[in-house]
Structure 1
Amino acid sequence: MDLGSNFPAKLEPFLLMAKSVKGAAAAKLIQDATSAPGVFVFSELLELPNIQELAKNEQHEKFLSLLQLFSYKTYQDYVEHKDRLPPLNNAQMIKLKHLSIVSLAANRRILPYADLLRALDMPTIRELEDLIIDAIYLDILRGKLDQKEQQLEVEYTMGRDLEPGKLEEVLAALQNWAATTSAVLSTLDQKIHQISLATEAAKQAEQEHEKALQANLKEVFEKQKDKSLGGGMMNRRGMHMGLSDRDRDPMHMDVDEPPESSKSKNRKASQDTQSKTRKRNRF
């Protein structure tokens, strides 16, 4: 549920009563509405003709100013114009300080304790933190107390009523925000497009590199294959030619070499034979 989404319902009973009251009764109604628990938006009540008529009565005019204070002003405004406003009871004082935190958070997300102590006229940090914790429980704001850094980190807040004449200022701020957002989105689109192009180029380069690598590997493989096949054919051709020469020579026989001892015996026998022959020749 969004913060403050149930606040208009809390104002509804006062709207019904305001349609039939005037003068002092209308002033009393404003006191009751600004003191009532859970009532934090007042623009619908402020716009009612019965309430606007209080501006014409000097005695009741300050109650209209009180309602304007709770609609879109802050505790500092109360301090500066206290003499023109009715006195605040404790419930009204706490509620106005809660609403003042919302207004301060509209300008910056980090609120130092020192600034809050001064703006809300809080005597101690402990009381300030209790006030902030109550605002969180009441769905007035969401945030975190950073006691180490002595600051309130606001995440988001309820919306307050717009002060008359501020609508144009808000619209201008929204237009500036829209223009800034559009420029940021355009820049992001350009960056995304550039990244996409770079990614595609890198992918294509990788594919081309892989293709070239595979072609080189294939070429090396083919060369090695051709070299291997060529050497094998030459060896087989040489063996075939050797066998054919021996086959064509019918007288070719393989003769084993005699042993060394046989050669010696043969030479000795030959010498003996020759000696005997010479002797016979002498006779």
Structure 2
Amino acid sequence: MNQTHTRAIEALQPFIHIANSNSATSPRFVANIITNATSHPHTYVFAELLETPTIQSLQSPDIPPEYQGYLKLLEIFAWGTWQDYQASSSSSSSSSSSAKNIKANNETYIATPNLPKLSSEQAQKLRLLSLLSLATTIKPLTYSALQSALSLPDIGDLESLVTSAIYSSLLGARLSPSSNPPTVNVTSVAPLRDVQPQSLGKMITQLTEWEARCGEVARDLEAEIEAVKANAAIRGIKETEYKEMYDVRVKARKQDAGAPGTGGGVGNAAPVARRGPLGIRRGPRGLFGGNKREADDIEQDDGFFDAGDGMDIDEGAGSGRGNGSRTKRVLGGRRD
């Protein structure tokens, strides 16, 4: 529950206790309870007080006319507005139904036909409560709309009222007097208005419709979840089949590579020895069965090799030939 709402309920409890505990139910006594409750600076909800038998006794036809309007006044404080107070008048009255200022006992009162006059504290309280209702119904909440609805022709009085509501935690708002038009930008509204009993049927209908829409959204989400699960299952099956096929092919390649005569070095096939450029037998580990680095050193090109040819050896003079001429013989290749 909102903290401001809790404080408002706590502030109303003494008046409820008085209404329930005192056996005296004279119209004047009941009227005083309503006047004191609506004038208290921290009371903003009144439905619980309104439901007590003491307050409801004002509906009796035996109540004097001067006290009959107090029940209606408490209802306006509970869920009505400043405009409702101004509009309430006797159907038989031909006078204007607008509120009038009356000076009495150095205090300003606002009187409306058929309703009790309001003290300055009550007028301030009713305007604050009306501001809460207007903040949820008027978009944008302009200065001109508020001045008309709250009977505040002076802009300073309007800004003072809104500031009081902000500091009392009734509204979260910011004044924008320089905007066009000047506006009150509301960010939050305290839940301090009571629900009119006649509006309960409409609220139940709206909540029922909202529940039906939520059910449709929930069903759509469930269908989407099932579709995602089904797609994920299909992908899992395909991935499993692909992995099985991959493993089978890898295994087949390994078997082919290890078959005899394939040169894969697996199975019973012995490594095939190769011969180098000098006709020297070369094993799988290089020349003379040594390591690869030694074989690379031996096979390095020293300038005596021609690509595709053998090796020329100059036997030189004194090789046993009579004329001392130099002859060449070819090893491991052919001589053109």
TM-score normalised per structure 2: 0.59
Residue 78 of structure 2 contacts residue 194 of structure 2 at CA under 8 Å; is this kept in 1?
Answer: yes
User: What amino acid is aligned across from residue 72 of structure 1 in structure 2?
Assistant: W
Larger Rg: 1
Residue matched to 1:171? 204
The structure carrying a bigger strand percent of its residues is 2
Residue 22 of structure 1 contacts residue 51 of structure 1 at CA under 8 Å; is this kept in 2?
Answer: no
Residue 166 of structure 2 contacts residue 173 of structure 2 at CA under 8 Å; is this kept in 1?
Answer: no
Q: Percent identity?
A: 28
Residue matched to 1:31? 35
Residue matched to 1:93? 123
Cα RMSD (Å) of the superposition? Answer: 4.0
Greater RCO (CA < 8 Å, at least 6 residues apart) = 1
Q: Distance in 2 between matches of 1:130 and 1:92?
A: 16
User: What amino acid is aligned across from residue 52 of structure 1 in structure 2?
Assistant: Q
Instruction: Evaluate the alpha carbon distance shift between residue 186 and residue 145 of structure 1 in structure 2; reply closer, same or farther with a 3 A threshold.
Output: farther
Q: Distance in 1 between matches of 2:113 and 2:50?
A: 21
DSSP-derived class of the 1:12 partner: helix
The within-5 A match list for 1:27-106 is 27-55=31-59, 56=61, 57-81=64-88, 82-105=112-135
Q: Distance in 2 between matches of 1:266 and 1:259?
A: 13
Q: Distance in 2 between matches of 1:17 and 1:196?
A: 63
CA deviation map 1:35-67 (0-9, x unaligned) = 111111222322333333334321111222211
Instruction: Evaluate the alpha carbon distance shift between residue 233 and residue 16 of structure 1 in structure 2; reply closer, same or farther with a 3 A threshold.
Output: closer
User: What amino acid is aligned across from residue 174 of structure 1 in structure 2?
Assistant: L
Residue 44 of structure 2 contacts residue 192 of structure 2 at CA under 8 Å; is this kept in 1?
Answer: no
Q: Distance in 1 between matches of 2:250 and 2:158?
A: 77
Instruction: Evaluate the alpha carbon distance shift between residue 12 and residue 152 of structure 1 in structure 2; reply closer, same or farther with a 3 A threshold.
Output: same
CA deviation map 1:91-136 (0-9, x unaligned) = 212221222233345557x652344444334446665454344334
TM-score normalised per structure 1: 0.68
Instruction: Evaluate the alpha carbon distance shift between residue 176 and residue 49 of structure 1 in structure 2; reply closer, same or farther with a 3 A threshold.
Output: same
Residue 105 of structure 1 contacts residue 154 of structure 1 at CA under 8 Å; is this kept in 2?
Answer: no
Residue matched to 1:280? none
User: What amino acid is aligned across from residue 166 of structure 1 in structure 2?
Assistant: S
Q: Distance in 2 between matches of 1:126 and 1:156?
A: 22
Residue matched to 2:174? 145
Instruction: Evaluate the alpha carbon distance shift between residue 153 and residue 220 of structure 1 in structure 2; reply closer, same or farther with a 3 A threshold.
Output: farther
Residue 38 of structure 1 contacts residue 138 of structure 1 at CA under 8 Å; is this kept in 2?
Answer: no
Q: Which runs of 5+ in 1 are unaligned?
A: 244-256, 269-283
Instruction: Give the total of aligned pairs.
Output: 251
Residue matched to 2:109? none
Q: Distance in 1 between matches of 2:244 and 2:162?
A: 67
Deviation at 1:30, TM superposition (A): 1.5
Q: Distance in 2 between matches of 1:222 and 1:153?
A: 79
Q: Distance in 2 between matches of 1:132 and 1:203?
A: 62
The structure carrying a bigger helix percent of its residues is 1
Residue 135 of structure 2 contacts residue 141 of structure 2 at CA under 8 Å; is this kept in 1?
Answer: no
